[in-house]
Structure 1
């Protein structure tokens, strides 16, 4: 890998899926159409990631993933109720 290329960090991967899920739920850019199915898909991917990496993450990475999932699931449930 050259110096100009950035290594993908685990936190960046998690935050990318979080950002996508939030966007699909209608948070952020108000011009983007809401799509709860795609939001759930991103949340499910994070859940799968949590399951498959269990015991192989640093405390910080594990906390980030756990907190992100909790926050996204709460927001998703709220969005479903408001649909």
Structure 2
């Protein structure tokens, strides 16, 4: 066994194959795979389990995005607000959950954008923001408190 010079910390060697095998076994165990406990043969790389959650293929890691615009910013904030109000389900979890504080924050953020862009948007954009804020505020007051 090699002696460490005094004052030096020992080097830690991480066996990546071992880590991969453990992760694959955990994933297989979650899926009820009977082969989950079988280790790979010596000298053979461990079999990596498909760790992609169901439905994740519908959500690529880095999807194409539309061009940035004022309308897309408002649409994104409004969509998040509607999810926070439980009006539409979260696309990842499929669950509709009410989060009134988050919804209020998002609605208020759109209100700040309305105030800060006043006089710098087209009449159509101003009308769209007014209508959007009205709809979101009405949805907010109709949403029961938890």
Q: Above 0.5 in TM-score? A: yes
Ranked by relative contact order (alpha carbons within 8 Å, sequence separation 6 or more), the top structure is: 1
- Which deviates more, 6-15 or 49-58? 6-15
1:12 matched to 2:76? The reply is no
| CA distance in 1: counterparts of 2:72 and 2:65, whole angstroms | 15
Instruction: Show structure 2 runs of 5+ residues with no match.
Output: 1-63
- Count of matched residue pairs: 78
Measured against aligned partners, the alpha-carbon deviations of 1:6-60 in whole angstroms (never above 9, x if no partner) come to: 5311111111110000000001116142100000000000000000000000111
1:36 matched to 2:96? The reply is no
Instruction: Show structure 1 runs of 5+ residues with no match.
Output: none
Query: Deviation above 3 Å: which 4+ runs of structure 1?
Result: 4-7
Considering only CA atoms, is the larger Rg found in Structure 1 or Structure 2? Answer: 2
> 40, 64, 73: which one pairs with 2:128?
64
SS at match of 1:15: helix
| CA distance in 2: counterparts of 1:22 and 1:75, whole angstroms | 8
SS at match of 2:120: coil
